[in-house]
Amino acid sequence: MMRSKAATLVAERDRTLVMGVVNVTPDSFSDGGVWFEPEAALAHGRDVLAAGADIIDVGGESTRPGADRPSVEEELRRVLPVVRDLAEQGAIVSIDTMRAAVAAAALDAGASVVNDVSGGLADPDMVPVVVEAGVPYVAMHWRGHSVDMQSLAVYDDVVADVCRELASRRDALLGAGLSENLLVLDPGLGFAKTADHNWSLMAALPALHELGHPILLGASRKAFLGRLGRRAGEAPRPPAARDLETTATSVMAAMAGLWCVRVHDVESTARVLAVVRAALDHHTADEEAW
């Protein structure tokens, strides 16, 4: 039942959904270590669910620039208890992983979405697992692993290049048997991208619709937001102090008609998106859009 509910969510178009982040890691850029112990992670997952997340994204591997990868066994140890607990409480759970073995085990434990920042490029077994399971799959724009991805942040035109590379990945995934109705795409803010690249993509969000699939946006607490308003040489705001800026990106995503935003602070995002939805619900065809 949970998997059919997740598939139904992919078709959601009347509002922008909220995906809440649960990092079960010691080294994630935003909250690494805070929810690393099993009981803390479980409690946090329940709080995210109660705050109004439509989907809860559980991940056991940090993808911050320069991060080292845990073993498969360690990643499984981190995520499976949290996935199982939240699924038993009725949550739609997404497993944030680049590994087919972790995705398969999480699906067996009750996850119903796979969120793969590599778009299936990091593990050749990932796509067959997702196709066989028949679950929604989020494929992000990706050029390489965290340890060296920023060296790959070279583009002629970042919007055109990202859209072209995502389109190529889309075609490969559909050609491998993934259902067109289950594919979600993500432009990958912060992954092999500079701050200027991220801002260019934010300014061009409507162009992502040309890819023909629902779009997930993950801008939450990223460094390019923390640098806003800071003087030269001044340290960026710490990740937990970037939620105001994050809510602004969520409003931009909603106004551009994107499918979902992935955020750390679910409550603030849910509240601002309710404002956007109330305004859009009162918009009529003969009125100019904002």
> Torsions phi, psi of 90, nearest 5?
95, 5
Locate 181 and state its tokens: 């109705």
Separation of alpha carbons 52 and 115, rounded Å:
19
Q: What is the dihedral sign for C-alpha 242, 243, 244, 249?
A: positive
Strands (E), 156-245: 183-186, 216-217
170 close to 135: Cβ distance less than 8 angstroms: no
Locate 55 and state its tokens: 């989907």
Please give the single-letter amino acid code of residue 142. Answer: W
The residues annotated with a catalytic role in the active site are 222, 262
Which helix (H) or strand (E) covers residue 96, if one does?
strand 93-96
CA dihedral 128, 125, 75, 105 (to 10 degrees): 30
Locus of tokens 């990202």: 162
